[in-house]
Structure formats: structure tokens, C-alpha cells
């Protein structure tokens, strides 16, 4: 089986309660052409409990979950279909409670 396409390297950072279920920072190799959606499919398969912390339903982030690509909220880009590029940093912030 031959794999076509190149792999790119990205950095994923998690903050606050997400660190309870996954690494605080990891470097990953993903296929060129990957999107935020495909990244989260891989991450949720790798880290038990991550899916429940991030998503209210299939493809719907919980209120106040913020995903940033290189400091820009993906909601202002292409959402889950935002393409990943070599060297990107993806930061994940869960809902925050305050008082």
C-alpha cells in the first residue's frame, strides 16, 4: 500500500481542563490537506474523554470552546474545514467557569 501525499508537522496545545485528558502540548504529523475536522477525529480517537469535553454533538463544539489556529479563532476562518499548514499551532481552550 503506497501513501500518496506529504505529511506536515503541527503543534497542538491544550489548556485548563483539557490537560486532564490529553497532553499539554504535542507535535503531530498529519497528511497535507488535513483540516481541523480531521485533526479532531484523530485526537478524539487518541484521547479518551476529549470528545465529550469539546463537542455538544457531532461537529458542534460546546458553547465557549475556542479553537485557535496561529492565534486566530477558527470560527473566523473556515470553522472545522479550516485547512492545516506545515508549522501551524492549534490551541484548544475549553469552556471556562468563573464567579
pTM of the predicted structure, to 2 decimals: 0.89
Distance, in Å, from the CA atom of 14 to the CA atom of 41, rounded to the nearest integer, reads 16
| CA dihedral of 25, 81, 70, 73, whole degrees rounded to 10 | -100
What residues does each domain of the chain span? 7-93
pLDDT in tens, 61-85: 888 889 999 999 999 999 999 999 9
Q: What are phi and psi of 11, to 5 degrees?
A: -115, 135
pLDDT in tens, 1-10: 445 579 999 9
Start-to-end Cα distance in the chain: 55
CATH topology of domain 7-93: Ubiquitin-like (UB roll) (3.10.20)
SS3 20: helix
Here the cell at position 8 is: 506536515
pLDDT at position 58 over 90: no
Confidence class for position 37, pLDDT limits 50, 70, 90:
very high
C-alpha cell at 19: 490537560
Cell for 33? 490537506
Amino acid at each position: 500500500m503506497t501513501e500518496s501525499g506529504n505529511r506536515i508537522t503541527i503543534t497542538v496545545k491544550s489548556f485548563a481542563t483539557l490537560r486532564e485528558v490529553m497532553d499539554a502540548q504535542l507535535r503531530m504529523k498529519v497528511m497535507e490537506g488535513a483540516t481541523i475536522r480531521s485533526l479532531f477525529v484523530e485526537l478524539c480517537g487518541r484521547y479518551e474523554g476529549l470528545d465529550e469535553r469539546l463537542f455538544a454533538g457531532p461537529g458542534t463544539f460546546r458553547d465557549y470552546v475556542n479553537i485557535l489556529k496561529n492565534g486566530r479563532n477558527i470560527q473566523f476562518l473556515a470553522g472545522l474545514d479550516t485547512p492545516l499548514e506545515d508549522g501551524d499551532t492549534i490551541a484548544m481552550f475549553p469552556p471556562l467557569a468563573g464567579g
